[in-house]
């Protein structure tokens, strides 16, 4: 029996209807990366109403709130929710359907914001029981490079007061509502985007000897680059190289002047990541040159890999088990998707865990980034209550 645990659980139940209404409101007003103005205004309005001090306009549309407990200097825990939506036309026929044409909260960031506001309300109510300070980070632009996390860190979000530990949660359609999952150590991949332009000399397809065929060169490059994954990457180092776009706009009998190839690379080690970029560049350039053409290489720097601190994750797992029961806390595997929460974990210890939102009986099981994505809203009760409980316990751990 723990009185604080029970109090947090009751408060989460008590606030659920209000937080569901808030999530629905946010769902109707999705905004793209670094354009989250209405969202930002709504968050500020609510923090003001809850009596929580805050600052607006960090990294353009970011909002940062502060809740001080009884020993505010002893430890500072930060909680992060991302705010941006996607360029997807919503296909759900629900009363809270997106009112912004062509935009949709299809990655659940509306749930993250509403849930964090619920957590804030709970923590504000029990602040005299908190042994430290809680920083609430509402972050813009998770979906788009360079990522709001990077900009917020550059603008000092982890300082003044200095943050000791950070937590983030993300909706997860592979777990039922009421459950959570996490992984200690390396969890999500680094991500970079690759842009190759193969230059040849176009002309009549029937007399290839007079031309330099960039289509054939591009084909060799695409096949050859996979050997970086199969022959150069250590077998224990997960590595992904995918090309999803190739444009060679000639005709059946016309060889084009150039071919564009675009793709991604993902991995879990900074040294190997840098080495991969060198190998891709050298291989693409030398193959093109050996065949008489040229290849221009541009690799756009994305997010680093995300690492969950071992000790913090162990504490989080134990907190989750005490709050939800052992059977509702799952161990997850590494994922080759990416998250800009990774930037925080490069600076300070943190834990990024997953919140179950699936409900197969209700037909709620669409994937993230799809036009039919939705959540079982009972997950908001789990989301806000669990996070408040994790914070309470983490602050006791000085």
Residues that bind Ni ion (CB under 5 A): 107
Task: Give the DSSP H or E segment for 197.
Answer: strand 190-199
Alpha carbon distance 364, 386 (integer Å): 22
For Ni ion, the closer CB: 354 or 393? 354
Query: In angstroms, what is the minimal distance from the CB of 170 to Ni ion?
Result: 6
- Closest to Ni ion by CB, 16 or 368: 368
> Residue 303 or residue 392: which is nearer to Ni ion going by CB?
303
Cβ proximity to Ni ion: between 107 and 117 the closer is 107
Closest CB 286 distance from Ni ion, rounded Å: 38
The smaller minimum CB distance to Ni ion, of residues 107 and 388, is found at 107
Task: Tell me the angle at which helices 3-28 and 109-125 cross, rounded to the nearest 10 degrees.
Answer: 140
- Return the closest-CA partner of residue 80 out of 155, 209, 168: 168
Least CB distance to Ni ion at residue 31 (A): 14
Query: What's the min distance (Å) between Cβ of 110 and Ni ion?
Result: 11
Q: Which residue is nearest to Ni ion (CB)?
A: 107
Relative to beta strand 190-199, strand 258-267 is antiparallel
Closer Cβ to Ni ion, 188 or 259, answer by number: 188
> Cβ distance 148 to 142 under 8 Å?
yes
How far is CA 105 from its chain centroid? 13
Round to whole Å and give the CA distance between 171 and 193.
25
CB of 171 to Ni ion, least distance (A): 8
Under DSSP, is residue 297 helix (H, G, I), strand (E, B) or coil? strand
Other C-beta atoms closer than 10 Å to the C-beta of 229 total 17
- Our CB check for Ni ion shows the closer of 80 and 393 to be 80
As a whole number of angstroms, the distance between CA 359 and CA 57 comes to 37
Q: Answer positive or negative: Cα dihedral of 102, 108, 113, 115.
A: positive
Residue 87 in 3-state DSSP? coil
- Specify burial of residue 272 (Cβ count, 10 A radius: 0-12, 13-18, 19+): middle
Asked if residues 135 and 80 have their Cβ atoms less than 8 Å apart, the reply is: no
Distance between CA atoms of residues 223 and 283, nearest Å: 11
* Complex with Ni ion: residue 22 or 107, whichever CB lies closer: 107
Provide, rounded to whole angstroms, the least separation between the CB of residue 302 and Ni ion: 14
Task: Give which of 135, 282, 118, 257 is closest to 201, Cα–Cα.
Answer: 257
Give the alpha-carbon dihedral of 110, 115, 117, 122, to 10 degrees: 170
Taking the complex as a whole, the smallest distance from the CB of residue 127 to Ni ion amounts, in Å, to 29
CB of 304 to Ni ion, least distance (A): 17
User: For Ni ion, which is the closer residue by CB, 58 or 107?
Assistant: 107
Q: Shortest gap between Cβ of 83 and Ni ion (angstroms)?
A: 10
Give ∠ CA 356-110-160 in degrees, rounded to 5.
100
């Amino acid at each position: 029996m723990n009185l604080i645990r029970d109090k947090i659980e009751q408060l989460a139940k008590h606030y659920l209807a209000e937080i569901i209404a808030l999530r629905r409101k946010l769902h109707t007003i999705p905004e793209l990366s670094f354009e989250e103005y209405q969202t930002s205004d709504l968050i500020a309005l609510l923090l003001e109403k809850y009596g929580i001090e805050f600052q607006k306009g960090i990294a353009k549309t970011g909002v940062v709130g502060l809740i001080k407990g009884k020993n505010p200097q002893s430890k500072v825990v930060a909680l992060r929710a991302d705010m941006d939506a996607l360029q997807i036309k919503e296909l759900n026929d629900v009363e809270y359907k997106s009112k912004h044409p062509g935009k949709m909260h299809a990655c659940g960031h509306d749930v993250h914001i509403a849930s964090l506001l619920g957590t804030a309300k709970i923590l504000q109510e029990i602040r005299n029981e908190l042994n430290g300070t809680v920083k609430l980070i509402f972050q813009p632009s998770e979906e788009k490079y360079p990522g709001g996390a990077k900009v917020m860190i550059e603008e000092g979000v982890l300082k003044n007061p200095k943050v000791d530990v950070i937590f983030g949660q993300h909706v997860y359609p592979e777990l039922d509502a009421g459950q959570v999952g996490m992984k200690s150590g390396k969890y999500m991949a680094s991500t970079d985007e690759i842009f190759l332009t193969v230059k040849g000399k176009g002309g009549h397809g029937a007399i290839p000897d007079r031309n330099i065929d960039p289509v054939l060169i591009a084909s060799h490059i695409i096949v050859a680059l996979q050997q970086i994954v199969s022959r150069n990457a250590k077998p224990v180092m997960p590595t992904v190289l995918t090309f999803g776009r190739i444009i060679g706009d000639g005709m059946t009998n016309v060889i084009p002047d150039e071919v564009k190839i675009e793709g991604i690379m993902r991995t879990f080690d900074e040294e190997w990541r840098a080495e991969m970029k060198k190998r891709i560049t050298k291989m693409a350039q030398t193959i093109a040159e050996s065949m008489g053409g040229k290849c221009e290489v541009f690799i756009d720097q994305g997010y680093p890999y995300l690492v969950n601190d071992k000790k913090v994750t162990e504490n989080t797992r134990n907190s989750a088990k005490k709050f939800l029961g052992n059977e509702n806390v799952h161990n997850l595997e590494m994922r080759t998707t990416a998250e800009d929460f990774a930037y925080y974990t490069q600076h300070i210890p943190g834990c990024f865990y997953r919140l179950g939102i699936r409900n197969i009986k209700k037909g709620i099981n669409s994937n993230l980034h799809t036009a039919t994505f939705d959540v079982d809203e009972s997950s908001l009760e789990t989301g806000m209550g669990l996070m408040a409980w994790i914070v309470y316990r983490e602050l006791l751990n000085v």
